[in-house]
Chain A
C-alpha cells in the first residue's frame, strides 16, 4: 500500500520501520531537513521536505493515490489539518495523532468533520492499559479481545506456581481444580514459543494465558497469586497520561496520590482533578515517597517524562514492597535489561500508538477476505495475537480443529461463540460468526486465509 507518514519524529520513524517490514511503499514528510536526511539514509523510503499541512507538499508526495495518510507530528493542529487536506486531495484513509485532552472531549465531532478515520491518542491509550493492569494486579501485561470478553494476561512463572514443571497436556489430570485457560505464548531467554501439549513451563518464563475474566481471575487465585483489588495508588509525574489515568481509575474507587515537580502544573492538576491528592514535589526523592506512605500503597506508577527516572523510581518502589509497579518507558532496548531486574509492567505510549496504527493499516490491506479485527503485539512484537470474525461459507467451518491445516507457528487460541468463551481443544470446531483469536510467531499476517489453509 502507498502510505504517507507526516512527521519523522520518534513515532513516525518507529511506524515507518514497522510498515517497511510489512512491505508497504512509504513517503515521509517533514519540515526539518536534517531529520529527513537521516531518515533517507537509514530507511528505504521517499522523503519529501515541507509542511504536511501544505497542499502542495502533499501533492508532491503523491497524496492523490495514497491509500493512507498518517499524521504524527508533534502538533495536533497540523495533524488534523493534514488529514483534512489529505482526504480532500484523494487519500483513502487518514489517521491523526491527537493528544490534547481538550480536543479529546470533542473528538467525535472533530473526527467526523475533518474526515479523520482513526484518531490515536497515545496518552489515553497508555492510561487505559495501565487501568486494566490495576484491575488485574497479578498480571504484568494484559490485553482484552472480543469486546472485553476475552483477556490475555502475562505473568512471570515463579517457583511456587503449581503449573511449573509439568507437561501442559497433563496439567488438568494432575490438578483437577485448575481452571481451564489457554497457554498462548511463552518467552524464555528471549525466544518466543507458541506452546504445544508437550511444553513445560519453567521458573522465570513469561507466560501468556487467555480466557474469560472470571476464569482468569480464578486461575491466578488457584496458583496462589494475590488477586485483591488495588485501592491505593501513587503516581509520579503529572503529564497527560497521569491525567487520563486518574480520570479512569478514580471513578472505580481507587485513591490516588499524584506527585508533580512543577508547581504551576500541580496547581492545574489539583483544579482539574478534585478527587486526587496532588503533591508538589520531586517524585524521585525517596524521602518524600516514604513520607507519603509508599510502603502502604497497592500500586506505584512512574509516569514522568524521563524513562530512566521512571525505571529507577520503579525499582525503588518494588524494593520497598509495593505489590504492583508500572513504569512508562519508551525505550525498547531497556526492556530486556529491566525485566531481568524484576520490573515486568512497562508501558510505552509510542509502541501503543504504532501498534494501533499498524492494526488499522493491516485491516485495510485485504480488500476481500477476512480482515484483522484486532491486533496485539506481545513481547515487543515477537508474537502477535490477531482477532478475526469467522466468515460464513469458509470450507473449514464445522471441522474439528485437529483436522485443519494451520500455518506453522500459529494456533487458534480462543473461540468466542454467542458471548461464550471457549478455550478450544482438538475436537472443538468453529462456526460462522464466531470471534476467534489466533496466536502466531509470524509477523505481517493480515488475512484469515493466510492462517488456515482451506
Chain B
C-alpha cells in the first residue's frame, strides 16, 4: 500500500471539498447570514485537515494500483461525508453527530433519506449545502477532482471505475481527464436546462436550484416537507419527472447526441431495457391508482402521478408526491422491485443498474435453456456484442452480495427493536439503492432510529453508491498489510 499517495489524494479531495462549501456560504451571506459562521468554520476545518495531508505527504512513486485506487475511493467518500457533516452540526440544524453524519452521507450518496422532521425552519445556506452534496455526489468527487486538478494524471482508470455507477466504464474521450471534463459539462448543461425550466414554472431561483440539484444527482432532498408536491403545480411535477428520467440515463449517450451520433441513442440496449421497465411500472401503477378515491378515474392526473412515482423510484431520486404507505400492496411491491433495479450505467442514479438486471435475466434464461438443450453453445449478448464470462460471473456475485447486504442490514438494525419488519428491510433496501424513502416508519424521516442503526444505514448508502466493493475492501485486513 502506497500510504503517502493515498494521504496526498485524500488531502487534495478535502481541499476541494472546502472550496465546494463556498457557494453555500455565499448563499448564506446573501440571505441573512444566520448560518454563515457555521459554514465558514466547517470550510476552514476541512481546509486545515486537507492542506497538511496534501503538502506533507510526498509519495516516492505515483504508481496507482487497483488496490490504492479502491482504497482512495472508499476513504475519500468516508472523509468527505465526515467533513460534509460539519455544517449541519455547527449550525445547530442537526445537533446530534450521528444525525449530521447520516444527512451528509445521504446527501453525497444521492440517497435523499433525511433526519429532518421539522421543515418549518430551514437555514438557507446549510439547506443549500445539503442539496449541493447531491449535485456533487451524483457525478462523483474523484471524477471532479480528475477534471480540474492538473497533477491528477497517470493510472487513474481505477479511481473513475470505482466511482462511476455500473459494471463498465464509458470513456467518451481517450484521456480520462478530457472524458471527465466532457461528462461534467454535459451534467452541468442538463442541470442548467432544468433550472431554467423550473424558473419558467414559476419557482423562485432558490427553490428551483434546490429541486434541480436534488433531481440532477437523483438524490431527492427538498426544502419542503411535502417535497415536490409542496408547489402544487402539475408543470413542476412534469419537469421533475422528465429530468429524473433523463438523469437516470447514461450521460455519455448525451455526448453521442451532441456530436450527432443519435443512432447510439436508438441502438442502446440498456436504454431500451430502462424505458421498458419504466413503461411496465407506469402501466401497473395506472391500474392500481385509477380506482383510488383520490384519483377517481381522472386519467390525466393519474397518468401524471404514475409517471412521477415510477421515475422517482427507478431513478432512485425518492422525491415524494405522496406517502408511500398509502399505495395498494401491489404497487408497493413493484416499488420494491424498482428500487432493486435502479437506473442505467453511467448515470447519477443508484440501484443495481439496468445493465446488470438485463444481464442477470439473460444469464438465467441461458441456464434454463441449458438444462433442456445441454449441447447448445449459447453466448449472452448485450449492446450487440458477446459478454465476457468473467463479467457475467462478477455480475452474479454483485447481485448476491447486494441482496445479502439488504438482508444483513435489515437483520442488524432489527436488534435495536424500533420498527417492524417492513420498515427495517425497506429502510436497508432504500439506503443501499440510494432511493430515500421507504415503507412503514421510514416513509418520511429516519429520525426514529437509534445512533447505531444510523451508522449502519450510512455504511449501506456508501456501499450502494460505490457499488459495494470499494467499501467492503476497507474491511479486508490484507489490503492494509504489506507493500
Contact yes or no, A25 B157, CB < 8 A: no
Q: Report Cα–Cα, A43/B64, bound state, in Å.
A: 11
Minimum distance in angstroms from B269 CB to a CB of chain A = 16
Contact yes or no, A41 B174, CB < 8 A: no
Residues of A within 8 A of B176 (CB): 44
Contact yes or no, A27 B174, CB < 8 A: yes
Known contacts A25-B178, A33-B388: A44-B157 contact under CB 8 Å: yes
* Most A C-beta atoms less than 10 A away, residue of B158, B175, B178: B175
Contact yes or no, A46 B158, CB < 8 A: no
Known contacts A40-B157, A41-B155: A25-B66 contact under CB 8 Å: no
Q: In the complex, which residue of chain B has the Cβ closest to the Cβ of A25? A: B174
Minimum distance in angstroms from B410 CB to a CB of chain A = 36
Please, what's the 1-or-0 string for B156-177, where 1 marks a CB less than 8 Å from any CB in chain A?
A: 1110000000000101011111
Contact yes or no, A44 B153, CB < 8 A: yes
* Most B C-beta atoms less than 10 A away, residue of A26, A40, A45, A46: A46
Asked whether any CB of chain A lies closer than 8 Å to the CB of B154, the reply is: yes
Known contacts A44-B154, A44-B156: A26-B66 contact under CB 8 Å: no
Contact yes or no, B173 A25, CB < 8 A: yes
Q: Report Cα–Cα, A46/B182, bound state, in Å.
A: 15
**Which A residues between 128 and 176 are near B, CB-CB below 8 angstroms?**
none
Contact yes or no, B171 A46, CB < 8 A: yes
Contact yes or no, A25 B175, CB < 8 A: yes
**Option from B66, B175, B388 in Cβ contact (under 8 Å) with A41:** B66
Q: Report Cα–Cα, A40/B173, bound state, in Å.
A: 13
Please, what's the 1-or-0 string for A9-35, where 1 marks a CB less than 8 Å from any CB in chain B?
A: 000000000000000011100000100
Contact yes or no, B155 A44, CB < 8 A: yes
Residues of B within 8 A of A33 (CB): 388
Q: Report Cα–Cα, A25/B177, bound state, in Å.
A: 11
Chain B's interface: helix, strand, loop or mixed, by majority? loop
* Most A C-beta atoms less than 10 A away, residue of B155, B157, B176: B157
**Option from A2, A27, A41 in Cβ contact (under 8 Å) with B157:** A41
Contact yes or no, A45 B155, CB < 8 A: no
Q: In the complex, which residue of chain A has the Cβ closest to the Cβ of B179? A: A46
Q: Report Cα–Cα, A42/B161, bound state, in Å.
A: 13
Chain A's interface: helix, strand, loop or mixed, by majority? mixed
Q: In the complex, which residue of chain B has the Cβ closest to the Cβ of A23? A: B175
Q: In the complex, which residue of chain A has the Cβ closest to the Cβ of B385? A: A49
Contact yes or no, B66 A44, CB < 8 A: no
Q: Report Cα–Cα, A41/B162, bound state, in Å.
A: 12
Contact yes or no, B174 A46, CB < 8 A: yes
Contact yes or no, B157 A26, CB < 8 A: no
Minimum distance in angstroms from B130 CB to a CB of chain A = 35
Q: Report Cα–Cα, A33/B388, bound state, in Å.
A: 9
Residues of B within 8 A of A46 (CB): 171, 173-174
Q: Report Cα–Cα, A45/B155, bound state, in Å.
A: 10
Residues of A within 8 A of B158 (CB): 41
Residues of B within 8 A of A40 (CB): 157, 169
Q: Report Cα–Cα, A42/B174, bound state, in Å.
A: 13
Q: In the complex, which residue of chain B has the Cβ closest to the Cβ of A42? A: B155
Residues of A within 8 A of B154 (CB): 44
Minimum distance in angstroms from A88 CB to a CB of chain B = 20
Q: Report Cα–Cα, A328/B66, bound state, in Å.
A: 34
Residues of B within 8 A of A26 (CB): 174
Residues of B within 8 A of A25 (CB): 173-175, 178
Minimum distance in angstroms from A4 CB to a CB of chain B = 10
Q: In the complex, which residue of chain A has the Cβ closest to the Cβ of B178? A: A25
Q: Report Cα–Cα, A129/B176, bound state, in Å.
A: 38
Minimum distance in angstroms from A20 CB to a CB of chain B = 9
Residues of B within 8 A of A2 (CB): 174
* Most B C-beta atoms less than 10 A away, residue of A27, A33, A42, A44: A44
Please, what's the 1-or-0 string for B132-145, where 1 marks a CB less than 8 Å from any CB in chain A?
A: 00000000000000
**Which A residues between 416 and 433 are near B, CB-CB below 8 angstroms?**
none
Residues of B within 8 A of A42 (CB): 155
Q: In the complex, which residue of chain B has the Cβ closest to the Cβ of A62? A: B174
Minimum distance in angstroms from B386 CB to a CB of chain A = 10
Minimum distance in angstroms from A46 CB to a CB of chain B = 4
Q: Report Cα–Cα, A33/B158, bound state, in Å.
A: 18
Q: Report Cα–Cα, A135/B467, bound state, in Å.
A: 63
Q: Report Cα–Cα, A25/B181, bound state, in Å.
A: 14
Residues of A within 8 A of B175 (CB): 25, 44-45
The 4 closest A-B pairs by CB, nearest first: A25-B174, A46-B174, A44-B176, A46-B171
**27 A-B contacts (beta carbon < 8 Å):** A2-B174, A25-B173, A25-B174, A25-B175, A27-B174, A33-B388, A40-B157, A40-B169, A41-B66, A41-B155, A41-B157, A42-B155, A43-B155, A44-B153, A44-B154, A44-B155, A44-B156, A44-B157, A44-B174, A44-B175, A44-B176, A44-B177, A45-B174, A45-B175, A46-B171, A46-B173, A46-B174
Beyond the given pairs A2-B174, A41-B157, 9 more chain A to chain B contacts, judged by CB atoms under 8 angstroms and listed by A's residue number, are: A25-B173, A25-B174, A33-B388, A41-B155, A42-B155, A43-B155, A44-B153, A46-B171, A46-B174
A residues apposed to B, CB below 8 Å:
2, 25-27, 33, 40-46
